[in-house]
Homo-oligomer: A and B are copies of this chain.
Amino acid sequence: MNLDKFDLAILGVLQRNARASLNDIGAEVGLSSTPCWNRIKRMEAAGVIRGYTVEIDPASLGYMDTVIVHVTLESHSEETLYEFGRALASIPEVLEAFLVSGDYDYYIRIAVRDTRDYERLLREQLYRIPGIRHSKSSFVLRRLKETPLPLG
């Protein structure tokens, strides 16, 4: 799907505030509300817009720490990769999981309440998944950026 400068401008407004009204969006991008509405519906239907979500302060939910875990698997068969991914996806504290090239197989970012919660999560959840060979954890000391995609 081809996106023109108006589409990108609309996405930019929605990135900053997904609850902006169509009038406000129109005023910011230089169109009336109707074409904004049409373009948004078109981008929703085309899958450009996947959805709208709220950004929640992790500390407010008691998640004081973020841990990045590197995982190596026993086997690189499609079945092992798939099963491991499925198991990961079912752990709510796992925020992101990427299958990667290079030294490790998976990069995982998890939200934990504290170091005890981290230990519990590793022992009771992660290490119980069959097929793990090795894992290495790094605590996040500072979160510098967590931005949306660049537009244009």
Assess whether A61 is interfacial by the CB under 8 Å rule: yes
- Interchain CB contact under 8 A, B60 and A3: yes
Can you list, as one digit per residue, whether each of A72-101 has a CB less than 8 Å from chain B (1) or not (0)? 000000000100010011001111111111
Q: How many residues of A contact B (CB 8 A)?
A: 63
- Interchain CB contact under 8 A, B143 and A98: yes
Q: Can you name the residue of chain B whose Cβ is closest to the Cβ of A1?
A: B60
Interface residues of A (CB under 8 A from B): 1, 3, 11, 14-19, 46-58, 60-61, 63, 66, 68, 81, 85, 88-89, 92-104, 106-107, 111, 136-151
In the complex, the 7 A-B pairs of residues with the closest C-beta atoms, listed nearest first: A92-B150, A18-B52, A102-B138, A14-B54, A99-B142, A97-B144, A100-B138
